[in-house]
């Protein structure tokens, strides 16, 4: 089993292309490498330089490589299609330029879903026509990424979007051909949604092409579900804790990967609120140390 461990700009609080509060991309690269990682995701397109002549030398001198890129856009909103398409094309172009493989598609947070994150029975559902159009938008981007750019597209379930709960993920996978859409499996979001990540992995390892490692604080999760706390507030309360401190059984995750002969990247992706105690560098280092301690 050859598994490489990377990290992602969202572990530094980077969710959008720019924000005055964000650290410089060079700082994120410095700290990612300094914490012991050999790879990093692009982050939202536009955060890191899109000109490979600028970014590639900076990666090389830190001995980092680009793993993949995330299109975190409103697939659920037909009025945002041009934005989805633009971000997807630019992400694909950047990934090809750096020799990366993984195109990760995430339906961004919806105001209709944010209030019911972690509560599958209460969450609003799409009607048949809305679902069909939504599914087809995801499939269109996946097909483009695979056929036009030679990438490995994958779907990533995410709290507070319309691709959140296990039944939605399984429905999409049953309706979109495996040849164009794999799974980027996020352990933390699956737990937040109220489902068992290890059980899902055991059933679906043949379709998982990429992993995101994230943990969930069970005390915070129980509190936010009981109080019907919305997603954004839950993030501020620290629902995404350091690896090994939450309810995800990473030793069992490792065993699933080992038994399946999984090879490639597993990326730490710790959504964080920059206002919380500690620093992203400290968390990144602690997460890398924890993964090493259990054999990654």
- Per-residue pLDDT of 67-80, as tens digits, reads 999 999 999 999 99
* DSSP per position, 182-246: EEEEEHHHHHHTTS-HHHHHHHHGGGEEEEEE----HHHHHHHHHTT--HHHHHHTT-S--TTSS
Q: Residue 175 and residue 61: Cα distance in Å, rounded?
A: 43
Q: What mean pLDDT do residues 149-173 have?
A: 97
Q: Whole-model pTM?
A: 0.97
Q: What is the pLDDT of residues 135-156, one digit of tens each?
A: 999 999 999 999 999 999 999 9
Q: Residue 109 and residue 127: Cα distance in Å, rounded?
A: 18
Is residue 17 within 8 Å of 44, Cβ to Cβ? Answer: yes
Q: What is the pLDDT of residues 88-119, one digit of tens each?
A: 999 999 999 999 999 999 999 999 999 999 99
Q: What pLDDT score was predicted for residue 271?
A: 83
* Count of domains for the chain: 1
For 192, 221, 238, 245, the CA distances from 229, given in Å and listed in that order, are 12, 10, 12, 21
CA atoms within 13 A on the CB side of 105: 34
H runs (alpha helix) in the chain: 25-34, 52-61, 81-97, 128-147, 166-175, 187-192, 197-204, 218-226, 231-236, 250-260, 280-293
Structural domain that includes position 103: 3-293
Which CATH number does the domain housing residue 180 bear? 3.20.20.150
Q: What mean pLDDT do residues 184-208 have?
A: 98
Q: Output DSSP code: residue 50.
A: S
User: Is residue 164 scored above 90 in pLDDT?
Assistant: yes
CA 246 vs. chain centroid, Å, equals 18
- 232: pLDDT confidence band, cut at 50, 70 and 90? confident
């Amino acid at each position: 089993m050859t598994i490489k461990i990377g990290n992602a700009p969202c572990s530094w609080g980077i969710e959008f292309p720019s924000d005055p509060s964000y650290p410089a991309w060079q700082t994120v690269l410095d700290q990612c490498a300094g914490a012991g990682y050999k790879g990093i995701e692009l982050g939202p397109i536009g955060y890191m330089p899109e000109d490979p002549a600028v970014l590639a030398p900076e990666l090389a001198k830190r001995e980092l490589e680009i793993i993949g890129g995330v299109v975190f856009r409103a697939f659920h909103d037909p009025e945002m299609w041009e934005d989805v398409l633009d971000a997807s094309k630019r992400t694909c172009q950047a990934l090809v330029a750096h020799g990366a493989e993984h195109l990760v598609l995430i339906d961004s947070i919806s105001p209709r879903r944010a209030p019911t994150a972690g509560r599958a029975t209460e969450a609003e559902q799409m009607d048949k026509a809305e679902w069909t159009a939504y599914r087809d938008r995801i499939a269109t981007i996946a097909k483009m990424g695979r056929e036009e750019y030679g990438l490995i597209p994958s779907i990533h379930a995410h709290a507070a979007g319309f691709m959140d709960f296990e039944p939605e993920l399984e429905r999409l996978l049953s309706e979109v051909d495996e040849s164009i859409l794999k799974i980027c499996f996020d352990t933390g979001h699956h737990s937040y949604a109220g489902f068992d990540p290890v059980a899902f992995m055991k059933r679906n390892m043949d379709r998982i092409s990429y992993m995101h490692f994230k943990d969930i604080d069970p005390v915070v999760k129980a509190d936010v579900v009981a109080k019907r706390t919305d997603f954004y507030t839950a993030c501020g309360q620290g629902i995404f804790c350091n690896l090994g401190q939450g309810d995800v059984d990473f030793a069992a995750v490792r065993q699933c990967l080992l038994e399946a002969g999984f090879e490639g990247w597993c990326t730490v992706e710790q959504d964080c609120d920059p206002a919380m105690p500690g620093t992203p560098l400290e968390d990144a280092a602690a997460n890398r140390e924890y993964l090493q301690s259990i054999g990654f």
